[in-house]
A and B are shown apart, each in its own frame.
Chain A
């Protein structure tokens, strides 16, 4: 019997959310999570501020 569209839609949504969560977790463990990315992006700025502070 053919799978009804609403079942396909529900399955797609739950599978997609699961994939997103696993992807986020995997990237986070690999060092590409949002916090690590933010940290890397902010690093030049903080480093410059640090240099400004120690240079007086």
Chain B
């Protein structure tokens, strides 16, 4: 009995059962058919015959949408996150399958009722019932697809929001770390420097050029071959082999994740560049040992080269002339693990610096963070005269550089200007070499940076002193003897290197002598270093130096 206030759906009249229940059953069957159509379509789209967007297809789409410009690379071959691409593919496949299924159930009735056998309409209302039944089934299947579309779209949008947000934060953190630690990746074969190198998948050997968090992965990315790789250069550099983006030469482990300091050494022929390089390395190793820092060589070539060079310095043997066919690039690692630093020292035969504008040979000059200019004092005419002329025994023993020191400097400075390198933000160590020979000849040599600059000025090398201070942000002058001298002693060849390393944030501590020299040299970061007039003193230091800025303007 129906309760008061409620209307009975089915009355007690028996004829109601004859209509209502069959209609309800037919509607239920139609809905079930619609659900089945959708279920079959979805299972086919997601499991049996999915439209899987593989990395190569995704890469091609990305490349077509935004072609790689000069110096850029195509997107990496890795599986993108589901919401970025695969969700659209799944929706499309499900839609096609639902449409196909509906077309299949409508094919025969449509032919019967509307094309070949319109006589069916004589049996009205059977065609109308079948059409209504199929219409309802189709509507239910499309409704189910609509629900699936909404679910997928909402899930994808929410995931995208989270992924993009997290990716942006992780990228910002990585960018900040790169800027703070000054990580870069320098190739020792082609001298190409990039913010981070490519990383090679250990399984399929594909290169991943951009491992920043993004659409291919936040913490991990899945290579095309299925191998998981860490994202972010700071982590990937320790997991897989870093590779130069340009020449694909393997790099030192940690390249792109640790501080990278590049110091080219330049100067005229026989100025003492190679000897300085090895002697400064020897001193550097002594300083590092005192500070408890390990110095290692990440590649065999650097290790062999260092062993040979350090042997020459320690045995006080003559250094062989550098061949014009090779550019020496010596990489050492200061410290260990993730806090280590890669220090690259570059050297080339002096002949190259006489025509330094050649773009290929001296490529390493363009990306140096600090330059070392080796000035052979015996190439200065005044010094030779003071020592008794070109035929004096000490001058003969020095095997002086033949060219004018100003010419080599000008060539390199012009090259830097021509290639757009902002030398005005760089630092230059002007190293007067062969100090041991000068001392042995009885010359009184200055010690501090200002005094050495003044000394050079007095010797007639004022153009170079002035140009160096004009061209670079900070210039220091050093007087070294390229021998196995303990760190901190007079003539220590490691002092220029330590200065350049420290201004670029190296963990190598300063020697007490370096600190004293720095206090003499004025405020770091000054464009012209010390005050325009050097302090006056007795003897050859008595002559004041005019204001180089004023001269430069004139």
Q: Name A residues whose Cβ lies closer than 8 Å to a Cβ of B.
A: 1-4, 6-7, 10-11, 13-15, 17-18, 21-22, 25-26
Q: What is the CA–CA distance of A10 and B87 in the complex, to the nearest angstrom?
A: 9
Q: How large is the interface on B (under 10, 10 to 19, 20 to 34, 35 or more residues)?
A: 20 to 34
CB pair A10–B86 under 8 Å, yes or no, is: yes
Q: A7-B82, A10-B87 are in contact. Are A15 and B147 (CB under 8 A)?
A: no
Known contacts A4-B222, A22-B144, A22-B147; can you find 15 more A-B pairs with CB under 8 A? A1-B52, A2-B226, A3-B52, A6-B79, A7-B52, A10-B83, A10-B87, A10-B155, A13-B155, A14-B87, A14-B90, A14-B151, A17-B151, A17-B155, A22-B35
CB pair A11–B46 under 8 Å, yes or no, is: yes
Q: What is the CA–CA distance of A19 and B144 in the complex, to the nearest angstrom?
A: 9
Q: What is the CA–CA distance of A6 and B159 in the complex, to the nearest angstrom?
A: 13
CB pair A15–B46 under 8 Å, yes or no, is: yes
Residues of A within 8 A of B152 (CB): 14
Residues of A within 8 A of B86 (CB): 7, 10
CB pair B148–A1 under 8 Å, yes or no, is: no
Partner of A6, one of B42, B50, B82, B148: B82
A-B contacts, 29 listed (Cβ < 8 Å): A1-B54, A2-B226, A4-B222, A6-B81, A6-B82, A6-B222, A7-B52, A7-B79, A7-B82, A7-B86, A10-B83, A10-B86, A10-B87, A10-B155, A11-B46, A11-B82, A13-B155, A14-B148, A14-B151, A15-B42, A15-B148, A17-B151, A17-B155, A18-B144, A18-B147, A21-B147, A25-B147, A26-B31, A26-B35
Shortest CB distance B224–A (Å) = 8
Q: What is the CA–CA distance of A3 and B159 in the complex, to the nearest angstrom?
A: 20
Residues of B97-153 at the interface with A, using a CB-CB cut-off of 8 Å, are: 144, 147-148, 151-152
Residues of A within 8 A of B147 (CB): 18, 21-22, 25
Residues of B within 8 A of A2 (CB): 226
Q: What is the CA–CA distance of A2 and B31 in the complex, to the nearest angstrom?
A: 35
Q: What is the CA–CA distance of A14 and B82 in the complex, to the nearest angstrom?
A: 11
CB pair B155–A4 under 8 Å, yes or no, is: no
Residues of B within 8 A of A18 (CB): 42, 144, 147-148, 151
CB pair B151–A21 under 8 Å, yes or no, is: yes
Q: What is the CA–CA distance of A43 and B144 in the complex, to the nearest angstrom?
A: 33
CB pair B79–A4 under 8 Å, yes or no, is: yes
Residues of A within 8 A of B50 (CB): 3
CB pair A11–B226 under 8 Å, yes or no, is: no
* Cβ-closest chain B residue relative to A6: B82
Q: What is the CA–CA distance of A3 and B222 in the complex, to the nearest angstrom?
A: 12
> Taking chain A's interface residues, is the majority helix, strand, or loop, or is none over half, making it mixed?
helix
Residues of A within 8 A of B151 (CB): 14, 17-18, 21
Shortest CB distance A16–B (Å) = 9
Residues of B within 8 A of A22 (CB): 35, 144, 147
Residues of B within 8 A of A13 (CB): 155
Q: What is the CA–CA distance of A18 and B82 in the complex, to the nearest angstrom?
A: 17
Q: What is the CA–CA distance of A2 and B223 in the complex, to the nearest angstrom?
A: 12
CB pair A10–B82 under 8 Å, yes or no, is: yes
Q: What is the CA–CA distance of A15 and B81 in the complex, to the nearest angstrom?
A: 17
* Cβ-closest chain A residue relative to B220: A6
How does the 8 Å CB contact mask read for B371-399 relative to A, with 1 for contact and 0 for none? Answer: 00000000000000000000000000000
How does the 8 Å CB contact mask read for B526-540 relative to A, with 1 for contact and 0 for none? Answer: 000000000000000
Residues of B within 8 A of A7 (CB): 52, 79, 82, 86
Q: What is the CA–CA distance of A15 and B54 in the complex, to the nearest angstrom?
A: 21
Residues of B within 8 A of A21 (CB): 147, 151
Q: What is the CA–CA distance of A13 and B86 in the complex, to the nearest angstrom?
A: 14
Shortest CB distance B197–A (Å) = 26
Q: What is the CA–CA distance of A11 and B156 in the complex, to the nearest angstrom?
A: 11
* Cβ-closest chain A residue relative to B27: A29
Residues of B within 8 A of A25 (CB): 147
* Cβ-closest chain A residue relative to B3: A47
Q: What is the CA–CA distance of A36 and B31 in the complex, to the nearest angstrom?
A: 21
CB pair A4–B35 under 8 Å, yes or no, is: no
* Cβ-closest chain A residue relative to B35: A22
Residues of A within 8 A of B79 (CB): 4, 6-7
Those 8 A-B pairs whose CB atoms lie nearest each other, nearest first: A10-B82, A18-B148, A11-B46, A17-B151, A14-B152, A18-B151, A4-B79, A14-B151
* Cβ-closest chain A residue relative to B149: A18
Q: What is the CA–CA distance of A1 and B225 in the complex, to the nearest angstrom?
A: 9
Residues of A within 8 A of B148 (CB): 14-15, 18
Residues of B34-75 at the interface with A, using a CB-CB cut-off of 8 Å, are: 35, 42, 46, 50, 52, 54
Shortest CB distance B139–A (Å) = 13
Shortest CB distance B485–A (Å) = 60
Q: What is the CA–CA distance of A46 and B268 in the complex, to the nearest angstrom?
A: 105
* Cβ-closest chain A residue relative to B39: A19
CB pair B52–A14 under 8 Å, yes or no, is: no
Q: What is the CA–CA distance of A10 and B144 in the complex, to the nearest angstrom?
A: 18
* Cβ-closest chain B residue relative to A12: B46
Q: What is the CA–CA distance of A34 and B54 in the complex, to the nearest angstrom?
A: 43
Shortest CB distance B145–A (Å) = 9
Q: What is the CA–CA distance of A14 and B86 in the complex, to the nearest angstrom?
A: 13
* Cβ-closest chain B residue relative to A43: B3
* Cβ-closest chain A residue relative to B4: A50
* Cβ-closest chain A residue relative to B145: A18
Residues of B within 8 A of A6 (CB): 79, 81-82, 222
* Cβ-closest chain A residue relative to B91: A14
Residues of A within 8 A of B222 (CB): 4, 6
Q: Indicate the member of B81, B82, B144, B159 with the most A CB atoms within 10 Å.
A: B82
* Cβ-closest chain A residue relative to B28: A30
Q: What is the CA–CA distance of A18 and B79 in the complex, to the nearest angstrom?
A: 25
